[in-house]
Amino acid sequence: MKSVERVKAALKFNKPDKAPIWKFSSGSDVYTLASLPSKDWKPGHGANESGLFPHGAENLVKYGLWEWDKPEWAKNPKYDNWIDLPREEIDEFGTIWKKGGINTMGHPGRPSLPDYSQLDKYFEKHTPNFDEKDRYSFAIQRGKLQAKEKYRMCSFGLGPFQIASQMRGFNKYLLDHYRNKNDLKKLLKYITDIFVHHEKMWVKYGAEPHGFVLYDDLGEQKGPFFSPKLFKEFYEPVYRRLIETAHELNCDFHLHCCGKIDPIIPLLIEFGLDAIELDSPRMTGYSELHQYRGKIMIWACINIQSIYTQGSPEECEREVWHMIRNLGTKEGGFGAYFYPQVDHIQAPRANVKAFTKGLEKYGVYDRIPKHWWSYPVVNEWKYDKVPPLPPVKL
C-alpha cells in the first residue's frame, strides 16, 4: 500500500498491510503541515506587551521563515541573543508563556484574560489572522515536493481547551465551568470559530489535506479534568463542530490528548472523532482502552513515562506487539506515533531504534501468527513492566 492508503485503511479498519507510522522525519506515512505566523503579528508592540517575546518563533526566525519586527525595547543589545535567554513570551492568541532558555515550548505563564468583561476587546486584539495565503505557502510547497503519496495532516497546534485555560489561568478556568458558565461558553465559541476558519483556509489555499490534528490535553494522571456530563455540556459544541467541518471538507479529524481520558472517549467517538493519539497509552491503561478497539483508531507511542524512557530496547520491541494487540484489531485501527522531542524526555536512541524494529517484526499484519489475536491479554498491567510475547506455536 501507499502511505495514504495505509493510513486510511487503518482509520476505517479496512485491513492495512501494516501499522502506519507517524514520524516528523523520514520513514513516516504521515506528513504534518503547520502554518507560519501572520506577517502582521507584532508581539511585544502593544500596550502591556513590553518584555514579551514571540512564542514558538525561535526556529522560524533562525531559518528565515518569519521575521520579528522588533519593538524598541527589544533592540537593546542585551537582547541580541534573546533566543537563549529565560523570558516571557506571547502567542497569537495573546496567551503568556514562560521560557527557561532551553529548547522546549515552555510552560503557560500568567493569565492574559483575568476579567471576562474584556472578552470582546481581547479578541479584537488577539484573533490570529488565518486569511493570509503566505501563512500556508511554505508548508504547502514542501508538501507537494515531499508528500505526494503520504497522508497529509494539517496541524492547528494547541486546542480550545488549552488556549482558553491559559487565558484564564488553570484553576480559575476549571471553576468557570460552575461559576461563569455563559462566559466560558462564549469564550470557547470564539476560539472554535477561529479554528473552523483555519480548517477552511488550509483547503482554500491548496494544502489538499487528508486530515487535521489538534493538540488538547484533557486529563491528568488519574482522570479527566471534568465529568463526562460536564465535558458533553461544554465541549460537544467545540469538538463536534470542528470534526463535522473536517468531514464536510472530506478530511479526517485526529486529536492528541494526554491524561487518563477513558471516561470521555465514548463522547469523542459520539462526536465523530476519527482517531486519538496518546503519548502514554499506559496512563489511560490497556485494560480501559481495550474496549474501544474497533470503534476508533488509536495512534500511540511506547509509553513515554516509563518504558520508552526507562525500559530496555528488548522491552520496547516487545511493547510494540502489546500496543497493536490492545489498541488495534487484526483489521487495523492502530498507528505508531514517534514522540518527536526524544531529547526532551531523554529516550535512549537504542529504544527509538527498538520501536522501529518492533514494528518491522510485529507491525506487518500477514506476519502476525493468527492465534496471537485471540491469545489472552494481561488483566493487571504493571506500569513499567512488559509481559512476554505469546508463544509462536500453541
Q: What is the pLDDT of residues 331-359, one digit of tens each?
A: 999 999 999 999 889 999 999 999 999 99
The average pLDDT across 128-155 equals 95
pLDDT tens-digit profile of 242-254?
999 999 999 999 9
pLDDT tens, position by position, 151-165: 999 999 999 999 999
Residue 51 in contact with residue 57, Cβ under 8 Å? no
Exposure b/e, 19-46, CB count within 10 A at least 16 = b: bbbbbeeeebbbbbbebbbbeebebbee
Mean pLDDT estimate for the chain: 96
Q: Range with the lowest mean pLDDT among 247-256, 303-312, 377-386?
A: 377-386
Long-range CB pairs of 176-185, under 8 A, 24+ apart, other chains included: 177/226, 177/230, 177/234, 180/116, 183/116, 183/119, 184/234, 185/234, 185/237
Say if CB 16 and CB 365 are below 8 A apart: yes
- Per-residue pLDDT averaged across 8-30, rounded? 97
Q: Where are the domains of the chain?
A: 3-34+113-312+320-337
CA-to-CA separations, 286 to 71, 289, 328, 382, 386, in angstroms, rounded: 51, 5, 11, 11, 12
Please determine, for residue 103, whether its predicted confidence score (pLDDT) is greater than 80: no
Q: What is the mean pLDDT of residues 32-48?
A: 94
Res 102: pLDDT: 65
Q: What is the mean pLDDT of residues 201-225?
A: 97
pLDDT confidence of residue 105 = 85
Distance from the Cα of residue 56 to its chain's centroid: 15
Q: Is the CATH number 3.20.20.210 carried by domain 3-34+113-312+320-337?
A: yes
Average pLDDT over residues 262-278: 98
Helix or strand holding residue 142 (H, E)? helix 134-146
Angle ∠(299,304,308) on CA atoms, nearest 5: 100
